[in-house]
Structure 1
Amino acid sequence: MVNAEENQIDYSLANPDTLTKYKLAGEISGKVLEQVKALCVDGAVILEVCKAGDEALEAEIAKVYKGKKVLKGVAFPTSLAVNNIAAHVSPYPSDADAAAALAAGDVVKISLGAHIDGFAGIVADSVVVGGGEVAGAVADAFHAAWLASEAAIRLVQPAGTNWAVTDAVDKVAAAFGVKPVEDMLSHQQKRNAIDEEKRIILNPSEGKKKSADCTFEEGEVYGIDILISTGEGKVKPTEARTTIYKKTATTYDLKLKASRAIMVEINHKFGAFPFTLRNLEDEKKALMGIQECKQRGLLAPYDVLAEKKGQTIVQFYTTIAVTKNGIVKISGPAVPELAKFKTEKKLEDKDLLNLIAKSLKPSSKNKKKKAAKAEAPAA
């Protein structure tokens, strides 16, 4: 139950403390991301890397706001999706593929995130195991994904629209002969919520082309999730066990004692944020109780999705804030060494190239114009 004092707190970006917490969460996510990237070497077991990532998140989160009544924790568990797998791979110790390991040349998409007081800084990056130069369609996908991400971030401006972002990502991908992953969503975020109603859709399928329009506004936060495939961009759930879930707003009087115990633990440990079954206390109870919770709609699954075998997906995820001083990157991947990705293709659309070259902060001229316009009625 929310107390009266909490109701009076301003959790919008108008309160500087909000952006401070977002940035701190982003810093933690960025630091752990670099640690996880360093672990992605030939022969590394995916399960062990995910466990190490979650442990590092918990350790870094514990260092901040010590002794203060501020909720904090993992906003997204460490996930490693390899090659044609799109997302949500965070293995369970008893899974059949729990011993699966990385190999030189694999393209690994790493997702993770921390939150401070419910303000999440989620990030995703793509790395090639072993490094070195990459050519062909995979190199094309890296260039397209990075440039599409940079264009998308700059289009999330006050009065901008979600469909302008969708269109820009399509154009960048087409220039490199690759495809955005169909129906992938980027959501507005708020305190304790990473999937609000305002959203951007990539490469919408026929049934999703009538998705709701939305206009961006100052003071909003978005997770910009760009996934580009060397194939057709169509992904489907795999046979891999779903291990990442998020609590929904649905309520139901659960019958099984194990199910009720699991929901109590989820509420206490993870709140509204996604979690992995691996981080629940008791494996046997988790596997027993999770089924009823899922069947009754209390938990939303993050299924493991994949393109056709032989294809590769590249991902970049950046959390941004739309402020009066321009776009602020709360968390995001490091700029990739694109020179290592040898492509014969290039983006030639001048409008998009100019957009990508723009600073995230408005120029001083634009600021003066805005100020003059605001003062005009008073004058």
Structure 2
Amino acid sequence: MTAASVTEEKKAQKVPIDDDNEVDDSDEEGVPEIAAADGETKKKKKKKKPKKKKKVEQGDPPRTGLSKVYSDGKYPIGEIQEYKDHNAWRTASEEKRYLEKLAMEDPDLTYENIRRGAEVHRLARKYARKFIRPGMTMTEIANGIEDSVRALVEENGLEAGIGFPTGLSLNNCAAHYTPNAGDTIVLQKEDVLKVDIGVHVRGRILDSAFTLTFEPTYDKLLEAVKAATNTGIQEAGIDARLGEIAGAIQETMESYEVEVGGSVYPVRAIENLSGHSIELYKIHGKKSVLLVKNDDQTKMEEGEYFAIETFGSTGRGRVVESGDVSHYAKIYDASQGSVRLQTAKSLLRTITKNFGSLPFCRRYLDRVGESKYLLALNHLVTQGIVQDYPPLCDSRGSMTAQFEHTILLRPTVKEVISRGDDY
């Protein structure tokens, strides 16, 4: 029976009809009746309202995979900055908007992969800021961060996971320290801790870092380095020259001073550290963004993405290799014909399977079941198949700080992908 015929028959019976063609009277059980063509009455079934999907909430500590929270595969967009000066026209360009649309339709979904990594980073570092406290061991801190990253990114072999070992460099050590098994170093209240976290999705690496202190002595050092990173981001762009960006970073960084125990120390940009371009499954691309002015005329290009990271120091402003090695990476295009030791060949297969060309550390080898591997690992380093990355330290007694963001040079705008409320 059509809705119209029901309405006409009910009008003849002088029964009120509501806007949804449902009658006002009901049987003793409260179920509305509709007159059938043969004069009998039939109970009209109530329409069931579709159940609303319950929003998935992130836990504390954060362990809910992001695909459950962002089920449509669309992740938060980073901070958008228009290009400076002669590149400002890109924002309104039809041609550039079309190119950006093509990039979004790329089967690798480059933008969404990096944005997913960025959201993992924001959640992991928010948790890190909350749980890291003096008295904790470096291993406890590293495990807490990495457990969050693995869960949030939904680690899956080389499809998604940790982009590089979590850096936890202390005080005069600026970079490339993470604890090895048996490390007993404990975080102190007076320490300056650099926290460098990497996330990758399908080889698109998100690289971002910050510095923590627990008393105010070195607040100005952190302020200087954060400001220098923001200057580098502001100056970066399509056709921007790397040497000029470096000069702007240095000028900002070295306008600060730090007072410690009645003595004043200038903040120096660390001259032999740099930001860098990022390539597929390669954390360090071919282009470097140094932190002191230089004559490099190389330009940034459309579609590239960079880690803009700056390091400041109260020391000499230059780092040297010092301490036990923890960071390694398989060299992307190295020949493997020179491997003689069977144990080294076996270890190389493990490295290739689990990390590819992504950086790894000794704790990660322990985690995948390798043991007594140091001789084999050193053989791979000696043969030029694996690169080792010793800790990089300024002069003893000095303090160093680091801040870093990943930026994407889109055809229309610059996206600071890793930007958050914290820095």
8 Å contact from structure 1 (residues 262, 285) kept in 2:
no
In structure 2, the partner of 1:8 is none
Structure 1 gap segments, 5+ residues each: 1-11, 337-379
Q: Which moved more, 1:27-36 or 1:224-233?
A: 27-36
8 Å contact from structure 1 (residues 277, 286) kept in 2:
no
Q: Provide, for residues 171-195 of structure 1, a one-character-per-residue CA deviation record: whole Å limited to 9, x for no partner.
A: 1122113111121121111222221
Pairing partner for 1:258 from 332, 340, 343? 343
Q: Provide, for residues 126-153 of structure 1, a one-character-per-residue CA deviation record: whole Å limited to 9, x for no partner.
A: 0113xx5x24xx2332121111111101
8 Å contact from structure 2 (residues 254, 269) kept in 1:
no
In structure 1, the partner of 2:175 is 87
Q: CA deviation at 1:54?
A: 2.0
Q: Provide, for residues 265-317 of structure 1, a one-character-per-residue CA deviation record: whole Å limited to 9, x for no partner.
A: 11111111111111113453321211111001111112101111221111001
Distance 1:39 1:158, change over 3 A: same
8 Å contact from structure 1 (residues 73, 114) kept in 2:
yes
Q: CA deviation at 1:332?
A: 4.4
Distance 1:271 1:14, change over 3 A: farther
Q: What letter is aligned with 2:330?
A: K
Distance 1:315 1:250, change over 3 A: same
- DSSP 3-state at the match of 2:253: helix
In structure 1, the partner of 2:319 is 235
Q: CA deviation at 1:230?
A: 1.3
Pairing partner for 1:284 from 352, 359, 371? 371
In structure 1, the partner of 2:330 is 247
Alignment of 1:331-370 (within 5 A): 331-332=418-419, 334-335=421-422
Q: What letter is aligned with 1:192?
A: Y
Whether 2:409 is the aligned partner of 1:326: answer: no
Q: CA deviation at 1:105?
A: 2.7
Whether 2:252 is the aligned partner of 1:194: answer: no
In structure 1, the partner of 2:357 is 272
Q: Provide, for residues 154-180 of structure 1, a one-character-per-residue CA deviation record: whole Å limited to 9, x for no partner.
A: 111112110111101111122113111
Alignment of 1:51-90 (within 5 A): 51-62=143-154, 71-90=159-178
Q: Provide, for residues 19-47 of structure 1, a one-character-per-residue CA deviation record: whole Å limited to 9, x for no partner.
A: 01111011112211222233321100002
Distance 1:310 1:216, change over 3 A: same
Whether 2:129 is the aligned partner of 1:37: answer: yes
Q: CA deviation at 1:104?
A: 0.9
Greater relative CO (CA pairs within 8 A, separation 6+): 1
Structure 2 gap segments, 5+ residues each: 1-99, 257-265
TM norm structure 2: 0.69
8 Å contact from structure 2 (residues 272, 319) kept in 1:
no
Q: CA deviation at 1:224?
A: 0.9
Separation (CA, whole Å) in 1 of partners of 2:190 and 2:172: 13
8 Å contact from structure 2 (residues 142, 166) kept in 1:
yes
Q: CA deviation at 1:70?
A: 7.7
Whether 2:246 is the aligned partner of 1:166: answer: yes
Separation (CA, whole Å) in 2 of partners of 1:72 and 1:299: 22
In structure 2, the partner of 1:309 is 396
8 Å contact from structure 1 (residues 184, 203) kept in 2:
no
TM norm structure 1: 0.76
In structure 2, the partner of 1:50 is 142
Higher helix share: 1
How many residues are paired up? 307
8 Å contact from structure 2 (residues 210, 403) kept in 1:
yes
Q: What letter is aligned with 1:141?
A: L
- DSSP 3-state at the match of 2:371: helix
Pairing partner for 1:145 from 225, 235, 238? 225
8 Å contact from structure 2 (residues 277, 286) kept in 1:
yes
Distance 1:198 1:247, change over 3 A: same
In structure 2, the partner of 1:226 is 310
Larger Rg: 2
Separation (CA, whole Å) in 1 of partners of 2:209 and 2:274: 14
- DSSP 3-state at the match of 2:205: strand
- DSSP 3-state at the match of 1:109: strand
Distance 1:256 1:282, change over 3 A: farther
Distance 1:334 1:256, change over 3 A: farther
Separation (CA, whole Å) in 2 of partners of 1:35 and 1:286: 33
- DSSP 3-state at the match of 2:240: coil
Q: Provide, for residues 229-274 of structure 1, a one-character-per-residue CA deviation record: whole Å limited to 9, x for no partner.
A: 1122111111x21111111021123111221111111111111111
